[in-house]
């Protein structure tokens, strides 16, 4: 995907989408259910986020980086 072609809002939405998928997976696993998106278990997700965050950083955008070491417990 050509991240340079996306607007800042587009990058933000993509980043928020990954965060949402991660939170959904964490909630399912917390309930001893199988993760739907397998965000933590699929290296491609982490590379995708790294690419998104690199582009966001290059543009000087403010964002909260995704912390892969923590399990999100947001409801």
Q: CA torsion 57→42→20→62, rounded to 10°?
A: -10
Percent of the chain past pLDDT 90, that is, above it, reads: 85
Pairwise CA distance, residues 23 & 35, whole Å: 10
Q: What is the pLDDT of residues 40-64, one digit of tens each?
A: 999 999 999 999 999 999 999 999 9
Contact 3, 51 (CB under 8 A): yes
**pTM (two decimals):** 0.85
Q: What is the pLDDT of residues 4-14, one digit of tens each?
A: 999 999 999 99
Query: Residue 45: which of 73, 12, 71, 22 has the closest Cα?
Result: 22
Query: Residue 15: which of 58, 68, 64 has the closest Cα?
Result: 64
């Amino acid at each position: 995907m050509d991240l340079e072609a996306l607007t800042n809002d587009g990058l933000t939405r993509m980043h928020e989408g990954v965060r949402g998928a991660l939170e959904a997976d964490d909630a399912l696993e917390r309930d001893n259910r199988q993760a739907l998106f397998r965000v933590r278990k699929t290296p491609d997700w982490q590379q995708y986020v790294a690419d998104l965050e690199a582009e966001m950083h290059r543009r000087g955008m403010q964002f909260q980086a995704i912390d892969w070491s923590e399990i999100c417990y947001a409801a």
